[in-house]
Amino acid sequence: MEQIEEIEQTLATVHALLRAEGMSDAASIVRDYPAQVELTGYDNWNGGTNILEFQFKLPAQDYARLGAKRSQLEEQITARLRTAIEYETQDWYSAKIVPAKEQRADWRSDASELPRQVRVNVLDGLRLENVAWNGQLDDVEFLSRLFDLQQLPSTDSRYKDAAGDIWQHRYNNDDWERDWVFTDSRFRLIDGPAEQFLRFLCEVVHPVVRPDRDEALKLVLHFNDQLRLAGWELYEEERIAGRSRFSYRLLRSSSSRAVLRAKTVADALNAGWMAKEIERLENAVDRDPALAIGTAKELVETCCKSILTKRGIPFTKSDDLGDLTKKLTKELQLVPEGITDATKGAENIRMILRNLTQLTNNLAQLRGLYGTGHGRDGQHRGLQPRHARLAVASAVAFIDFVSETFRHRESSNVRSNT
């Protein structure tokens, strides 16, 4: 018990040091995940030194998402461990981030790739939003796109296959609940292979099933809120008559941070249209860099309009991105004149702020050269996904800064009026 208390005191000290030095990611590792101290070696030098390792155990998904950043976090935690302990011991300590052992008995089953609770949450969301899973099709038409209903058994002895009993009970008798398919054991949406459930969701938002673009995109946003917790997402694979057809994929750990930050901004501004653009942008970064670049520019434009509207500043349809940025810069007082020459690094701060306000102009020009919305000659060559990621990161840097400034101005006004 005493050893456990000592470990907890050490970790609390390390957490406080990391927080004080602004290393919030490393501090979160120390606070949020269990640590176990392992003796990994012994050195006879100077009377004997134990070599011990603080092992922070992360679930596999969290461990994988850290990627190459793990070594940096380990170094940060190790340095503060030694600061906290070195004055009271000669032992040598280090930090190691390791994947926690999986405890699932069903890990050999395909169903384990997408947990039951995630699936239940997705289907409950459809119920709460009163969404007809079959869209404009009847149940038989919809399910026939995914399953061979003539080969699936009937639950009613009067009919030879699933197609017959579904039609009888859903349309002739109308004595089945609308969401009967969610729990029907023949389709195994709750406990079957992950791909079977994901294909079902893709069909729910297929253009033939749900031709309303905005409705389909809203559903994809809701689906992905749950699926990403399990390492999956729906993404736009192609377009049919201008409408998105979605497929599914495992998440790539390196591409989501800027998008997650953009979603935080959209939530803070309560800007629903921004959320739709973010989803479109996220789906396009690797598949369609031109679309991602064009959407990044639209994202900045929507952010500007959202904040100007909240501040009561008028703008017109003819205002381009440059006009909107100038109005926003003036309204939020982003101009660098407020920084005095006596401030350390004053010129550097001014330059960063000037570059920030120029960013939108450069993004608009990049969109004109490489993004969507303009015709191309036969020699045109587009940019690569890495260029699209740069444009996206730049757009997110801008909206993040101006939204933080907006919230700061709003809170300052509240305090001054109380």
Distance (Å, rounded) from C-alpha 347 to C-alpha 414? 31
Burial grade of 317 (CB within 10 A; 0-12, 13-18, 19 or more): exposed
Residue 381: pLDDT over 70: no
Query: What pLDDT score does 376 carry?
Result: 44
Between 322 and 171, whose confidence is greater? 171
- The CATH class given to the 2-99 domain equals alpha beta
| Residue 107, number of CB atoms within 10 A of its CB | 9
The alpha carbon of 141 is separated from its chain's Cα centroid by a whole number of angstroms, namely 33
Q: Which of 5-14, 98-107, 309-318, 388-397 has the lowest mean pLDDT?
A: 98-107
Question: In the chain, where are the structural domains located?
Answer: 2-99, 110-251, 284-374+382-416
The string of DSSP letters for 48-73 reads -EEEEEEEEEE-HHHHHHHTTHHHHH
**Tokens standing for 7?**
């470990």
Find tokens 């000290």 and name the residue. 13
Strands 232-240 and 243-250, sheet pairing: antiparallel
Average pLDDT over residues 29-46: 78
Tokens of 269: 């501004």
For tokens 């008559």, what's the residue?
Answer: 241
Tell me what pLDDT residue 373 has: 47
Alpha-helix residue ranges (DSSP H) falling in 147-193: 162-167
Alpha carbons within 13 angstroms on the beta-carbon side of residue 154 total 14
Cα–Cα separations (whole angstroms), residue 406 to 279, 311, 333: 23, 9, 10
